[in-house]
Amino acid sequence: MTDSPDIQAFEVAIVGGGLAGLTQGIALAAHGISVAVIDREDPDRALGAGFDGRVSAIALASQRMLDAIGLWRHVGAAQPMWDIRVSDGDSLLFLHYDHAAIGDQPFGYMVENRIMRQAQQAALEHLPLLKLFAPMGVSRIARGMPGSGRAAELELGDGTGLHCRLVIGADGRQSMVREGAGIRTMRWSYEQTGIVCTVAHELPHEGAAQERFLPAGPFAILPMTDDAEGRHRSSLVWTEPTARAAAIMALPDVAFDAEMRRRFGSGYGEAHVVGPRWSYPLTFLHAERYTDHRLALIGDAAHGIHPIAGQGLNLGLRDIAALTEALVEAKRLGLDLGQADVLEGYARWRRTDTLVLSAVTDGLTRLFSNDIAPIRIARDLGLGVVDRIPPLKKFFMRHAMGDVGKLPRLLKGERLA
Ligand SMILES: Cc1cc2nc3c(=O)[nH]c(=O)nc-3n(C[C@H](O)[C@H](O)[C@H](O)COP(=O)(O)OP(=O)(O)OC[C@H]3O[C@@H](n4cnc5c(N)ncnc54)[C@H](O)[C@@H]3O)c2cc1C
């Protein structure tokens, strides 16, 4: 792999080794493609308990891909999601998805982001084709001229040079790879903040995820595995307008716990916040294109959505499934992995899915983040209608599983030849 002590050659270089970037690296290396992943974050810090308190809903199709690339077997704990319940304030109309209506598989699994990062690090040990540079910045990316056939060149913060056929930008919403390529974005702020914390409760959650639309914004109660002491736990994603969220975040522990319980209700018995709280500003972002010369964007670098439906990372994982399939096929045919038609195939595959889901989550956020009476009545009727029309309900259930549309093979759980 090494050309000279200071220049190293890989087939692909990925800038950003978060949940999307490193998973993309693992998927490629597991299929025989050499890959460098560069992340500015110190991996030890990123694995720390205080770094990221989120718990991600991993849809069933995404889980099948993680299994097919050898990552899932390193996931230490995952809570199956058997039911999804959606309700609007105290309205009597609600939506209930029961997995048993469409089979015996769960909708997906709730996995702590910290556990997913641990699994990524464990998977690396078995992948000699993947080299992680972290903590490390990228000081320069030169992708050459289309048609020149020249490799792309990256210069890392310590002066190391990398040559590769394709650069993947997985460096999140503020992507410097995207900005450097001059790819414009459509973006806005929801003026909302997602407060995230863990709640220990007396009664079991039975694998049910609840989305409650409260006047201030969505309040999600997401099932987690029991802790080491056997306590039942759920993760909250509690949305508030930004100014109110700042005030809530600043409350002392006892008052924060009391505010949580006012919204949490009594259905889980005695309940208390355990551990730290985190907050995330909620924004929308969509890149005008996902590719450029010797460049592909994946994950939040390409599209960032509101967490209302727990789909942001799933979109990124679907990018990975499509891009991996395109690159593995290109390699089999002896094509240049950064060739325009290979990348166009990826972009075409992903565009409709990301645009539709981005628009739907944006619409739902606006619909459910206000308390205007006619809108409230209309959306409650909508929930009631979907709940009572079995074919429509089944379609939405399959959507929650990530099982609609023309799926890349990894999302069906197939390894690529
Ligand atoms: C409150 C909340 C709850 C959510 N819940 C869910 C859920 O249940 N299910 C779901 O599917 N999604 C969920 N999401 C969305 C999901 O968390 C994101 O879509 C996902 O984390 C994006 O991952 P990423 O790797 O693309 O980007 P990021 O997580 O932003 O990672 C980017 C990486 O790039 C690195 N980086 C950045 N710039 C550079 C640089 N210049 N050089 C080198 N490295 C760089 C960073 O260090 C980082 O590691 C949620 C989001 C929020 C806010």
- Write the pLDDT tens digit of every residue in 63-77: 999 999 999 999 999
Which residues, other chains included, contact 216 with Cβ-Cβ below 8 Å and sequence gap of 6+? 239, 240, 241, 244
Residue nearest atom 50 of ligand 1, based on CA coordinates = 307
Which residues, other chains included, contact 92 with Cβ-Cβ below 8 Å and sequence gap of 6+? none
Contact 299, 171 (CB under 8 A): no
Determine, yes or no, domain membership for 22: yes
Determine, yes or no, domain membership for 134: yes
Atom of ligand 1 nearest to the CA of 304: 19
The mean of the pLDDT values for the chain is 93
Cis peptide before 135 (omega within 30 of 0): yes
Distance 110 CA to ligand 1 centre (A): 16
Atom of ligand 1 nearest to the CA of 57: 8
pLDDT one-digit tens code per residue, 176-221 = 999 999 999 999 999 999 999 999 999 999 999 999 988 888 999 9
> What is the share, in percent, of the chain residues with pLDDT greater than 70?
99
Which residues, other chains included, contact 91 with Cβ-Cβ below 8 Å and sequence gap of 6+? 376, 380, 383
**Residue bearing tokens 């009597």:** 92
Per-residue confidence (pLDDT) for residue 345, from 0 to 100: 95
Question: Comparing C-alpha atoms, which of 168, 174, 399, 169 is closest to residue 283?
Answer: 174
Determine, yes or no, domain membership for 236: no
Helix (H, G, I), strand (E, B) or coil at 349: helix
Q: pLDDT band at 2, cuts 50/70/90?
A: very low
Distance 382 CA to ligand 1 centre (A): 32
CATH code of residue 162:
3.50.50.60
pLDDT one-digit tens code per residue, 121-146 = 999 999 999 999 999 999 999 998 88
Per-residue confidence (pLDDT) for residue 258, from 0 to 100: 97
Per-residue confidence (pLDDT) for residue 378, from 0 to 100: 79
Per-residue confidence (pLDDT) for residue 149, from 0 to 100: 85
Per-residue confidence (pLDDT) for residue 381, from 0 to 100: 77
Q: Is the CB of 224 under 6 A from ligand 1?
A: no
Given a cut of 70, is residue 390 above it in pLDDT? yes
Q: Is the CB of 137 under 6 A from ligand 1?
A: yes
Q: Is the CB of 17 under 6 A from ligand 1?
A: yes
Q: pLDDT band at 4, cuts 50/70/90?
A: low
Atom of ligand 1 nearest to the CA of 300: 26
Total count of domains within the chain: 1
pLDDT one-digit tens code per residue, 312-355 = 999 999 999 999 999 999 999 999 999 999 999 999 999 999 99
Alpha-carbon span 303 to 175, nearest angstrom:
11
Contact 151, 9 (CB under 8 A): yes
Question: Comparing C-alpha atoms, which of 139, 119, 144 is closest to residue 47?
Answer: 119
Distance 19 CA to ligand 1 centre (A): 6
Alpha-carbon span 377 to 227, nearest angstrom:
40
**Residue bearing tokens 């590719």:** 291
Determine, yes or no, domain membership for 72: yes
Per-residue confidence (pLDDT) for residue 393, from 0 to 100: 81
Given a cut of 80, is residue 92 above it in pLDDT? no
**DSSP, res 203:** S
Q: pLDDT band at 5, cuts 50/70/90?
A: low
pLDDT one-digit tens code per residue, 224-259 = 999 999 999 999 999 999 999 999 999 999 999 999
Mean pLDDT of 54-68: 98
Q: Is the CB of 307 under 6 A from ligand 1?
A: yes
Distance 173 CA to ligand 1 centre (A): 8
Which residues, other chains included, contact 17 with Cβ-Cβ below 8 Å and sequence gap of 6+? 25, 37, 38, 39, 41, 132, 134, 170
Mean pLDDT of 391-413: 89
Given a cut of 70, is residue 18 above it in pLDDT? yes
Maximum alpha-carbon separation in the chain: 69
Q: Is the CB of 310 under 6 A from ligand 1?
A: yes
Q: Is the CB of 226 under 6 A from ligand 1?
A: no
Q: pLDDT band at 1, cuts 50/70/90?
A: very low
Determine, yes or no, domain membership for 355: yes
Q: Is the CB of 245 under 6 A from ligand 1?
A: no
Which structural domain, as residue segments, surrounds residue 139? 2-80+107-187+285-369
Q: pLDDT band at 370, cuts 50/70/90?
A: confident
Determine, yes or no, domain membership for 23: yes
Helix (H, G, I), strand (E, B) or coil at 408: coil
Determine, yes or no, domain membership for 260: no
Determine, yes or no, domain membership for 164: yes
Q: Is the CB of 194 under 6 A from ligand 1?
A: yes
Which residues, other chains included, contact 331 with Cβ-Cβ below 8 Å and sequence gap of 6+? 11, 32, 33, 337
